[in-house]
Homo-oligomer: A and B are copies of this chain.
């Protein structure tokens, strides 16, 4: 595969090139990693900046319907919209992978939209690293808005927040007692809480839920990255396509404020550092799965099992022999 050709076609906005590029970064084959790294380097200087919007909501809140309606509204305004997902469970429930496009039937046929299901890996770290790189690719390909969806399994919201400029929490209308259902920590992450299904019989409940969350948010200390009044709660109806414009206005107002105050760029820099450190950690662990380290681990493990060595001594021996650190004073940097 010619990486520089792929990079050029991606930067020209070719959807097929984008799809192929994402497949490359998602590949778990070690021999594809060098190409993926080169590709990411080749597309990083486009100066294009998408608005990256993280979105979480448990099954049943109407997340797909919301993404479809919201995405259609944005493409209707001439914007190009990419939808990515971080779902560590998708490796097991194959259905959700296949289902992504069919659940967003209209949006998937829209030329200005690009929908990509969650990469199929078993652990959150693997899914997240590749999705984060897919975001860079979508941005380089000229997308204006990138929606990153998660179902909120385990730590996945935190991880999605580490790759988003804004974070939306989608909730269903609910009685007061159910308010506690929101995971601890999510209030720290959410920039906008959207109460969906504010239509028909649920409209009044949705408005009460919005008021309850609005009140709860006002009790929290103001975050430096927020202007007055944020985070806030709004009602929307994905099926009636109402409230979506107002929600988009709020997102833009918040993003603009953060751009002007430097919080937008500051957050991206912090995220870059976060992902660099994650890459180093994962890269290091990946080396354990390669020969000859792998073979040496097997030998030592047998000795530990037989009681000939303690786990600590065997680990120290392996690290001493095979994983040198700091014994070369090579200058680092390009």
Chain A residues within CB distance 8 Å of chain B: 33, 36-37, 40-41, 44-45, 132-133, 136, 269-270, 272-273, 275-285, 287-288, 290-293, 296-297, 299-301, 303-319, 321-326, 328-330, 332-334
Please tell me which one of the listed residues B45, B276, B325 contacts residue A311 in the complex, with CB atoms under 8 A apart: B276
A34 to chain B, nearest CB (A): 8
Q: A277-B297, A280-B288, A281-B285 are in contact. Are A334 and B315 (CB under 8 A)?
A: no
Please tell me which one of the listed residues B290, B311, B312 contacts residue A326 in the complex, with CB atoms under 8 A apart: B290
B293 touches A326 (CB 8 A): yes
Please tell me which one of the listed residues B45, B133, B276, B290 contacts residue A300 in the complex, with CB atoms under 8 A apart: B276
Please tell me which one of the listed residues B36, B132, B285, B325 contacts residue A322 in the complex, with CB atoms under 8 A apart: B325
Q: Which residues of chain B come closer than 8 Å to A321, judged between CB atoms?
A: 328, 330, 332
A276 to chain B, nearest CB (A): 4
Q: What CA separation (Å) do A319 and B44 show in the bound complex? A: 21
A119 to chain B, nearest CB (A): 15
Please tell me which one of the listed residues B132, B136, B323 contacts residue A287 in the complex, with CB atoms under 8 A apart: B323
B310 touches A41 (CB 8 A): yes
Q: Which residues of chain B come closer than 8 Å to A45, judged between CB atoms?
A: 307
